[in-house]
């Protein structure tokens, strides 16, 4: 295992196993049949893109440790140390900064099988396994870091399935011309046209003696998918070497992307420090910037604010409330003398829990990601392979699966509440909970509004009704009263898209609910569209919020149409970044003796799959 002491942190954290691999293309001209040897070019200085940056191997005698290879390292198959087919005879680094090795194949049955495949052009690819001991950052372009590896150690060479770097191969001469490995007669080349190193190589294999059934080219399909995935090149190479199918690779890629830890805005507060934090002290300090006592009292909160701002990489406009504080639970103790403001219906949950409770979409199953740092990408399947019926000895038509991402990018929402000046002087848990509840409620309602009907313009997220630009169901040319058929059509649209799984539910406003409660499913028969119980609409849950608009226009019906949404709410993702940023406006309410507290939060909304939702926006309720 190599030491990572001299590696940049960005590289070291990705080399926990101490090894890496590169692959190259084999050329048959360098094969000496009589000596059973071949000259393999196994490393060059061609930049290689990994998921953590771009890597350049320094191909010089001082940078490449050659001891392991020169001491008689083995030639393997698929990096399997139990599958030895030859030995490395010698190693050299040319003036063209290409590292080459002469390998000799053994005479065992397995080695003979592999040797024949290489000689016949069936096994064409070579991979080198190596350890990185030292690397240097040489440049950063558009956020992509390039590292030159100045101390590395190859320890084995393997025959594998597909090359990752075809710029070097067997028998490359210094000027790029292709020559035999020795004076011995090269293998016959009549059926194998050659190309220059800078051109893609297309080789015609000899007709096999025994007829075989052509197999689906999984390697080619995997290679097509890889560019759409962060770190896809390494994932694809590993999958190809292990012989995975396209479907297996796709499952592993999605699992890899989904399991990647999401950076959080936590600043490392202990439990005692979280309890010690006072929202009221912070607000009092903001409202009284010239009061030395107020500033001293809020010194701890100021320190936490600075740490939270540094963690999320932005300047706090007032006090930034750390993520740990937003998750804490306040416990109301015994009221003390002086008349603490304890209400019987006081909510004492964490700020984030209160915020979620303010949104009915949370109860429907919407996913909330809190305390994020940086942009977030959520993996999704964007295309699938196609099945074909084929005749005997025929191959299916190549099809492609694609893996995409749903991105979340922070957008700032602001809301405010007014607090009496004297209330700011209180530091009881009761007052903390009351102020926390007010801030969470107004922010929650604003976020819910954006998730449902955000315009995507003027720094707003795009809500469901905006992302689904064309309504799924049309009630009428000029709008129409909701019908039982509208309900069936909404459900059918989601089902037809194979998205009728998960947390399915309806969402609309109070006007539509009232209309549905008075509308029969079938004219002249008992049974209304909106009934009682936990699943009031055709056996599905339903929620109501006036954040669903009722002032839409359709044809001649101006400003009186309402919307309704049916879908899998688990595919609605709401991301929240960093801490809550609090500012105080002491002037707006000064005449009334109040202080206006402005809360700012970075938020974004995304749909993992738009087909998971069906909408109608022209329902008339009058």
Residues 343 and 481 placed together within one structural domain of the fold: no
Last residue of a domain, one of 197, 212, 227: 212
Residues 157 and 54 in one domain: yes
292 domain-assigned: yes
Residue 275 lies in a domain: yes
Structure tokens at 350: 């964490």
Residue 82's CB is within 10 A of a number of other CB atoms, namely 6
538 pLDDT above the threshold of 50: yes
Is pLDDT above 50 for 4?
A: no
Question: Which two tokens mark 571?
Answer: 């595919």
Which SS3 state, helix, strand or coil, does residue 316 take? coil
Predicted structure pTM score: 0.53
Task: Write the CATH number for 497.
Answer: 3.30.2320
Average pLDDT over residues 398-404: 51
pLDDT at 571 over 60: yes
300 and 382 inside one domain: no
Structure tokens at 418: 């007014």
Residues whose CB falls within 8 Å of the CB of residue 138, separated by 6 or more in sequence, listed in order: 56, 146, 147, 148
Same domain for 440 and 485, yes or no, is no
Work out the average pLDDT over 1-6: 45
Residue 541 placed within a domain: yes
Half-sphere exposure of 431 (CA within 13 A, CB side): 19
Q: According to the model, what pLDDT value does residue 479 have?
A: 96
Out of 291-295, 353-357, 437-441, 617-621, pick the least confident.
Answer: 353-357
What is the pLDDT, as a whole number, of residue 257?
A: 60
- Quickly tell me which residue has 């105080």 as its tokens: 584
Q: Based on the fold, state whether residues 196 and 221 are members of the same structural domain.
A: no
The answer to whether 66 and 88 are in contact (CB under 8 A) is: no
265 within domain boundaries: no
Report d(CA 287, CA 565) in Å as an integer.
Answer: 43
Query: Does one domain contain both 190 and 327?
Result: no
pLDDT recorded at residue 96 = 82
The reported pLDDT for the residue numbered 167 is: 43
Q: What is the pLDDT of residue 262?
A: 53
Helices (H) and strands (E) in the chain, counts: 18, 22
358 vs 552: CA distance, rounded Å: 24
Note the pLDDT of residue 536.
95
pLDDT at 511 over 90: yes
Report the alpha-carbon distance of residue 294 to residue 287 in Å, rounded. 9
Q: What is the mean pLDDT of residues 553-569?
A: 96
- Average pLDDT in the 487-498 region? 94
Domain termination site, one of 404, 423, 444: 404
Tens digit of pLDDT for each residue in 299-346?
Answer: 998 998 888 888 877 788 888 888 888 877 655 444 443 334 433 343
Count of domains in the chain? 4
Query: Which of 166-175, 384-393, 433-442, 507-516 has the lowest average pLDDT?
Result: 166-175
Give me the chain's average pLDDT, please: 76
pLDDT tens per residue, range 361-396: 988 989 888 877 777 666 655 555 455 566 665 555
Counting residues of the chain whose pLDDT is more than 70, the rounded percentage is 71
Q: Tokens 């089902």 — which residue?
A: 495
Q: How far apart are CA 604 and CA 615, in angstroms?
A: 21
DSSP line for 356-420 = HHT-HHHHHT-EEEEEE-S-EEEEEEEE--------TT--PPP---EEEEEEE--EEEEEEEEEE
User: Three-state DSSP class for 550?
Assistant: coil
pLDDT bracket for residue 220 (50, 70, 90): low
For residue 250, being part of any structural domain is answered with yes
What tokens does 372 get? Answer: 């994020």
Q: What separation in angstroms does the CA of 450 have from each of 242, 361, 444, 551?
A: 46, 12, 10, 16
Q: Does pLDDT of 567 surpass 90?
A: yes
Q: Is the pLDDT of residue 234 over 80?
A: no
Residue whose C-alpha is closest to residue 167's, from 39, 47, 21, 28: 47
Q: Which of 185-194, 320-329, 513-522, 567-576 has the lowest mean pLDDT?
A: 185-194
pLDDT at 468 over 80: yes
- Please tell me the least confidently modeled range out of 108-122, 173-187, 222-236, 274-288: 173-187
Residues 63 and 208 in one domain: yes
| Per-residue pLDDT tens over the stretch 176-200 | 333 333 333 333 333 333 333 333 3
Cβ distance 404 to 380 under 8 Å? yes
Is 40 part of a structural domain of the chain? Answer: yes
Of the ranges 362-376, 528-542, 595-609, which is most confident? 528-542
Contacts made by residues 537-542, CB under 8 angstroms, sequence distance 24+: 537/487, 537/506, 538/487, 538/488, 538/491, 540/491, 540/504, 540/505, 540/506, 540/566, 541/364, 541/504, 541/505, 541/506, 542/505, 542/506, 542/507, 542/508, 542/513
CA of residue 349 relative to chain centroid, distance: 30
Burial class, 327, CB count within 10 angstroms (exposed 0-12 / middle 13-18 / buried 19+): middle
233 backbone dihedrals φ, ψ, rounded to 5°: -60, -45
* Distance (Å, whole) CA 449 – CA 359: 9
Q: Would you state the pLDDT for residue 244?
A: 77
Strands 376-383 and 402-408: antiparallel
- 432 is a domain residue: yes
280 inside domain: yes
Indicate if the pLDDT at residue 16 is higher than 80.
no
51, 141 in Cβ contact below 8 A? no
Q: What is the mean pLDDT of residues 463-479?
A: 94
53 Ramachandran zone, left/alpha/beta (phi>0; psi -120 to 50) = left
Identify the pLDDT of residue 462.
Answer: 94
Q: Residues 367, 491: one domain? A: no
Domain that holds residue 392: 214-260+375-404
380 with 475, same domain: the answer is: no
My answer on whether 488 and 553 are in the same domain is yes
Residues 92 and 142 placed together within one structural domain of the fold? yes
Which pLDDT does position 231 carry in this prediction? 67
pLDDT value, residue 256: 67
Residue 517 token pair: 């409660």
Between 4 and 557, name the one with better pLDDT: 557
In a shared domain, residues 436 and 565: no
């Amino acid at each position: 295992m190599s030491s990572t002491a001299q590696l940049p942190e960005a590289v070291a954290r990705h080399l926990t196993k101490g090894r890496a691999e590169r692959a190259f293309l084999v050329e048959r001209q360098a094969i000496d049949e009589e000596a059973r040897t071949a000259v393999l070019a196994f490393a060059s200085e061609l930049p290689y893109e990994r998921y953590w940056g771009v890597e350049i191997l320094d191909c010089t005698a001082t940078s490449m440790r050659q001891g392991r290879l020169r001491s008689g390292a083995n030639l393997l198959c698929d990096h399997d140390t139990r599958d030895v087919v030859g030995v490395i005879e010698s190693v050299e680094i040319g003036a063209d900064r290409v590292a080459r090795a002469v390998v000799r194949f053994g005479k065992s049955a397995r080695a003979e099988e592999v040797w024949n495949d290489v000689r016949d052009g069936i096994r064409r690819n070579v991979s080198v396994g190596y350890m990185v001991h030292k690397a240097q950052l040489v440049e950063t372009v558009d956020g992509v870091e390039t590292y030159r590896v100045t101390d590395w150690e190859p320890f084995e060479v393997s025959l594998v399935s597909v090359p990752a770097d075809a710029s070097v191969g067997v028998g490359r001469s210094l000027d790029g011309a292709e020559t035999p490995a020795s004076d011995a007669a090269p293998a016959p080349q009549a059926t194998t046209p050659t190309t220059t190193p800078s051109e893609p190589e297309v080789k015609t294999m000899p007709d096999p003696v025994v007829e075989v059934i052509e197999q689906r080219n999984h390697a080619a399909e995997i290679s097509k998918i890889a560019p759409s995935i962060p770190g896809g090149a390494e994932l694809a190479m590993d999958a190809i070497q292990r012989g995975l199918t396209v479907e297996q690779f796709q499952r592993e890629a999605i699992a890899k992307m989904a399991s990647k830890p999401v950076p959080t805005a936590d600043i490392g507060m202990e439990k005692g420090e979280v309890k010690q934090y006072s929202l009221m002290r912070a607000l009092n300090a903001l409202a009284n910037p010239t009061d030395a006592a107020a500033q001293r009292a809020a010194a701890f909160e100021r320190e936490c604010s600075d740490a939270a701002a540094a963690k999320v990489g932005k300047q706090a406009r007032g006090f930034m409330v750390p993520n740990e504080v937003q998750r804490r639970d306040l416990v109301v103790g015994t009221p003390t003398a002086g008349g603490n403001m304890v209400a019987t219906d006081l909510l004492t949950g964490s700020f984030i829990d209160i915020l979620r409770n303010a949104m009915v979409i949370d109860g429907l199953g919407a996913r909330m990601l809190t305390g994020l740092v940086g942009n977030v990408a959520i993996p999704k399947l964007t295309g699938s392979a196609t099945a074909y019926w084929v005749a005997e000895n025929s191959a299916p038509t190549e099809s492609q699966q694609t893996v995409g991402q749903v991105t979340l990018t922070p957008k700032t929402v602001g809301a405010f509440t007014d607090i009496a000046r004297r209330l700011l002087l209180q530091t009881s848990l009761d007052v903390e909970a009351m102020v926390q509840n007010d801030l969470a409620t107004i922010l929650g309602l604003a976020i819910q509004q954006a998730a449902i009907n955000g315009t995507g313009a003027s720094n707003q997220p795009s809500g469901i009704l905006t992302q689904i630009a064309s309504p799924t169901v049309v009630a009428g040319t000029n709008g129409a009263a909701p019908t039982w058929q509208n309900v069936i059509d909404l459900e059918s649209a989601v089902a037809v898209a194979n998205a009728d799984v998960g947390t399915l539910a309806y969402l609309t406003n109070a006007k539509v609910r009232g209309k549905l409660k008075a509308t029969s499913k079938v004219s002249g028969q008992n049974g209304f569209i909106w009934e009682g119980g936990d699943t009031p609409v055709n056996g599905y849950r339903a929620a109501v919020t006036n954040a669903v608009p009722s002032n839409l226009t359709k044809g001649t019906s101006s400003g009186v149409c309402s919307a309704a949404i049916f879908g899998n709410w688990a595919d609605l993702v709401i991301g929240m970044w960093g801490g809550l940023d609090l500012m105080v406006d002491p002037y707006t309410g000064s005449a009334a003796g109040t202080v206006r507290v402005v809360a700012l939060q970075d938020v974004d909304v995304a749909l993992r799959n738009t087909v998971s939702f069906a909408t109608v926006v022209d329902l008339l309720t009058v």
